[in-house]
Amino acid sequence: MNEGTQYYYNLTTGAVEEGPQSSMSDLMGPYASREEAQKALATAAKRNEKWDQDDASWEGEAD
């Protein structure tokens, strides 16, 4: 991923940045494409849901 342009999702503005233009504390990424960066929040939500399900299964609380 170090080769080529990297994209970041700005949590404050909701904009995709080509290269880190803002404080890293405001950014998610890097992503390999603009499209991946645009989906950053949805991707994070899906991962969090999966991790919550995995935790519940581990703790014996699965549905």
Q: Where are the domains of the chain?
A: 7-58
Average pLDDT over the chain, rounded to an integer: 90
pLDDT for the residue numbered 52 = 81
Percent residues over pLDDT 90 in the chain: 67
Residue type, 19: G
Contact 5, 34 (CB under 8 A): no
Give me the helices (H) in 1-63, please.
34-38, 40-58
Residue 53 predicted with pLDDT over 50: yes
| pTM listed for this prediction | 0.73
